[in-house]
Amino acid sequence: MDLFHNLAIGFATAAQPTNLLYAFFGCLLGTLIGVLPGLGPLATIAMLLPITYALQPDAALIMLAGIYYGAQYGGSTTAIVVNLPGESSSVVTTIDGYQMAKQGRAGVALATAAIGSFFAGCVATLALAALAGPLTATALLFGPKEFFALMILGLILASVLSSGPFIEGIGMVVLGMLLSLVGTDLNSGSQRFAFGIPQLFDGLDFVPLAMGIFGFAEIVKNLEQDDKLSLVTQKITNLFPTREDFRRMVPAMLRGTALGTLLGVLPGGGAVLSSFASYTLEKKLSRHPEQFGKGAIEGVAGPESANNAGAQTSFIPLLTLGVPSNVVMALMVGAMNIHNIHPGPEVMTKNPTLFWGLIASMWVGNLMLLILNLPLVGLWVKLLTIPYRYLFPAIMVFCSIGVYSINSGTFEVYEAAVFCVFGYALIKLQLPAAPLLLGLVLGPAIEENFRRAMVLSRGDATALLTSPISAGLLAAAVVAILLIMLPTIRARREEALQE
Amino acid sequence: MRGLAIRNHRAFASGALFLAFAIFFFVTALQYPAGTAAKMGPGYFPRLLAIVLAAIGLVVMFGAMKPAADRQTLRKWDLKGLAWITGSVVLFGALLFPLGLVGALFVLIVVSSRASSEFTWIGALTNAAVLIVLCLAVFVYGLGLPLPVWPSLLN
DSSP secondary structure letters along A409-438: -SHHHHHHHHHHHHHHHHHHHT--SHHHHH
How many whole angstroms separate alpha carbon A33 and alpha carbon A128? 27
Residues of chain A contacting B97 with CB distance shorter than 8 Å:
410
Q: Please, which pLDDT band fits residue B154 given cuts at 50, 70 and 90?
A: low
CA separation, residue B15 to residues A141, A434, B29, B54, B57 (Å): 40, 18, 21, 9, 4
How many whole angstroms separate alpha carbon A41 and alpha carbon A31? 10
Q: Please, which pLDDT band fits residue B1 given cuts at 50, 70 and 90?
A: very low
How many whole angstroms separate alpha carbon A109 and alpha carbon A295? 9
Residues of chain A contacting B42 with CB distance shorter than 8 Å:
185, 187-188, 190, 192
> Least CA distance to A399: which residue of chain B?
B89
**Sign of CA pseudo-dihedral A419, A423, A426, A428:** negative
Contact A144, A450 (CB under 8 A): yes
Is A181–B118 a contact, with Cβ atoms under 8 angstroms apart?
Answer: no
**Taking Cα atoms as reference points, which of A255, A275, A326 lies closest to residue A95?**
A275
Burial class (CB in 10 A: 0-12, 13-18, 19+), A197: exposed
CB of A186 within 8 Å of a chain B CB? The answer is: no
CB of A228 within 8 Å of a chain B CB? The answer is: no
Residue A126: per-residue pLDDT: 86
Q: How many CB pairs under 8 A join A and B?
A: 188
Residue B109: per-residue pLDDT: 94
How many whole angstroms separate alpha carbon B143 and alpha carbon A282? 46
Put simply, whether the predicted model's pTM sits higher than 0.90 gets the answer: no
How many whole angstroms separate alpha carbon A88 and alpha carbon A104? 25
Is A455–B112 a contact, with Cβ atoms under 8 angstroms apart?
Answer: no
CB of A417 within 8 Å of a chain B CB? The answer is: yes
Average pLDDT over residues B95-109: 92
A178 vs B49, B82, B135: nearest CB: B49
Q: Encode pLDDT of A140-160 as tens digits.
A: 788 888 888 888 888 888 777
How many whole angstroms separate alpha carbon A112 and alpha carbon A119? 11
B42 vs A50, A185, A387: nearest CB: A185
Residues 102-161 of A with CB under 8 A from B: none
CB of A194 within 8 Å of a chain B CB? The answer is: no
> Least CA distance to A412: which residue of chain B?
B93
> Least CA distance to B75: which residue of chain A?
A428
- Percent residues over pLDDT 70 in chain A: 91
Residue A235: per-residue pLDDT: 60
Stretches where chain A sits below pLDDT 50 are: 499
- Percent residues over pLDDT 70 in chain B: 95
Residue A499: per-residue pLDDT: 41
Q: How far is A408 from chain B (nearest CA, A)?
A: 7
User: Strands A183-184, A191-192: parallel, antiparallel or unpaired by DSSP?
Assistant: antiparallel
Q: Encode pLDDT of B16-28 as tens digits.
A: 999 999 999 999 9
How many whole angstroms separate alpha carbon B141 and alpha carbon A395? 20
How many whole angstroms separate alpha carbon B52 and alpha carbon B60? 12
A223 vs B28, B116, B146: nearest CB: B116
List the single best residue of B32, B62, B84, B92 to mutate versus A (max A Cβ within 10 A).
B92
